[in-house]
Amino acid sequence: MQKSKISLAIAAGAALLALNDAAIAQAQGLKVEVSGQVNRAIMNVNDGVQSNAFHVDTDTSSSRFRFAGSAPVNPGLRAGVLFEVEFQSNPSNEVTFATQDVSPTLLERHVDAFFEGRWGKLSLGQGDGAANGGVEVDLSGTTVAHYAGVSDIGGAFAFRGPGGVLSSATIASTIDRQDFESRYDRVRYDTPVFGGFRVAGSLGSKDNGRDVTELALWYSGDLGALGRLAGAIGYSDQDAAPGGIDDKVVGGSLSWLHTSGLNLTVGRTERDLLGREGKFNYVKAGYKFGRHAVSADFAGSDDQAAAGDEGRMVGVAYVFTPVAWAEVYAAFKRHSLDRPGTTFEDIDIALIGTRIKF
Amino acid sequence: MRTLRMLAGPMLSAAIAGCGAAPFEYHPATEIPRGPGLFSGEGGALVLRVDTSGERDEFQRQKKTGERSPEYREFQEWREWREWKRRQGK
């Protein structure tokens, strides 16, 4: 509650400062942009006992549309909005053999108002926390097919234990990227960019009023002949649920794209869990050439669903971009889970799909 | 803390090594891509322009009443002079 009050005070104070000029200039024309995308795929899953193909909306980058606009308020100050919703039929992270059809619903992603100037950017509303995406920085060109969010594809499928019996251990519960606190109602401040570096902080609440604090350092730089480098380091803290502990995550990612097209991406997070620490590691190596991009990745997790758990994922992917607004992709990956005293079947997932921007 | 050291070290080293390099704006590939769109063309978004300055209202009023500002009359005279000049050159 205390943090919510602080958030409110920061938002009110900043808005007053921004609008304090006696004469607020009449906006000289508002530009509203409407854009969106459809991302559909066929996903084949084999859990060692059952195998089936599913028509899915790829949760890596769901089908969605947005309205975005901004206009000058006075010299040196712009105000704007971002309204974005997603509409997924059969999300790739929700379908299972038992639930093969998931009806689409319109879900909010961003309902955000902002002011920006030379002093930085202040956002208020539903939107990204300061560190959201900090584990997912990726310059490989194959993100749409596979990236650090390994549970976005087939996350709801459960591992089968001895005798082919379904367990409660799903891909999502055993190997999650732990990407901080995602999107929620918050006040967020981003500094201007200094030498490629930017600091962001946010205060807000989610999950029925549990306060959230996030802080992140972002970097992106063009190193000339060495190519491009981007990365982030973040920290998040969500107040404990009754009987639990504060949900604290620290981590980040780093991605390097050489001018030759070779690229390397790494990510890592640690999350405080009751009596243990959930860990996630990610490595991807790839090559971009012309309209093509290929990559192989590996992810490992420790102690996420239960103490002693070791989740593993290896995958390969190919993305073809025939025109600037369309990507066609194919990917294959294998998930495995080691738990002391139990043997689980591997889960194989193949995916072929396309993302078209409109 | 180990995670922070593991990530911060390479990031700062690379950034310092590339000191003076031009920053570029990283755009997450999980978001709607930048660039052209199927319907929206090269701009990548359908653009609705809202004139909040009142210029369009003023234009419509002047069009209706036949009034013209001094600047508009000067512009028309310049266009007529340019046409006259072009003909002189033939």
Contact yes or no for A178/A269 (Cβ under 8 A): yes
More confident residue, A161 or B57: A161
- Residue A12: per-residue pLDDT: 53
Using a CB-CB cut-off of 8 Å, the residues of chain B touching A178 are none
Are the Cβ atoms of B14 and A250 closer than 8 angstroms?
no
CB of A220 within 8 Å of any CB in chain B?
A: yes
> Which pair of structure tokens corresponds to residue B66?
């036949």
Residues 1-60 of chain A with CB under 8 A from chain B are 26-37, 60
Question: What average pLDDT does the segment A234-240 reach?
Answer: 96
Q: Is B48 helix (H, G, I), strand (E, B) or coil?
A: strand
> Is residue A193 over pLDDT 80?
yes
pLDDT tens for residues A300-336?
A: 999 999 999 999 999 999 999 999 999 999 999 999 9
- Chain centre to alpha carbon of residue A185: 16
Give the residue-averaged pLDDT of A122-150.
Answer: 98
Q: Which of A24, A35, A85, A135 to mutate to test the interface with B (most CBs of B within 10 A)?
A: A35
Reduced to 3 states, what is the DSSP secondary structure of residue B49?
strand
In chain A, residues 107-166 whose CB comes closer than 8 Å to chain B: 133, 136-139, 141, 143-144, 147, 149
Taking residues A76-94, report their average pLDDT. 97
Q: How many CB pairs under 8 A join A and B?
A: 161
B28: tokens are 């997450």
Q: How far apart are CA A89 and CA A28, in angstroms?
A: 41
The residues facing A201 across adjacent strands are A189, A215
Handedness of CA A96, A99, A100, A102 (dihedral sign): negative
Could you read off the pLDDT tens digit of each residue along chain B, which spans 90 residues? 677 777 777 777 766 666 667 889 999 999 999 999 998 888 899 888 777 667 777 777 777 777 777 888 888 899 899 889 888 876
Confidence (pLDDT) at A21: 42
Per-domain boundaries in chain A? 2-22+30-357
Average pLDDT in the A76-105 region?
96
Domain residue extents for chain B? 55-88
* DSSP 8-state assignment for residue B45: S
Average pLDDT, chain A: 93
Q: Please check the confidence at residue A54 and state whether its pLDDT lies above 90.
A: yes
Chain B contact set for A226 (CB, 8 A):
17-18
Q: What is the pLDDT of residue A15?
A: 47
Cβ–Cβ below 8 Å for A71 and B18: no
Contacts with B44 from chain A: Cβ below 8 Å = 35, 357
Q: What sign results for the dihedral spanned by CA atoms A80, A217, A137, A222?
A: positive
Q: Which of the two residues, A12 and A106, has the higher pLDDT score?
A: A106
Q: Among A236, A237, A303, A243, which residue's Cα sits nearest to residue A276? A: A303
- In this structure, whether the domain defined by A2-22+30-357 belongs to CATH 2.40.160.10 is answered with yes
The b/e string for A129-164 (b: 16+ C-beta within 10 A; e otherwise) is bbbbbbbbbbbbbbbbbbbbbbbbbbbbbbbbbeee
B36·A34 Cβ contact <8 A: no
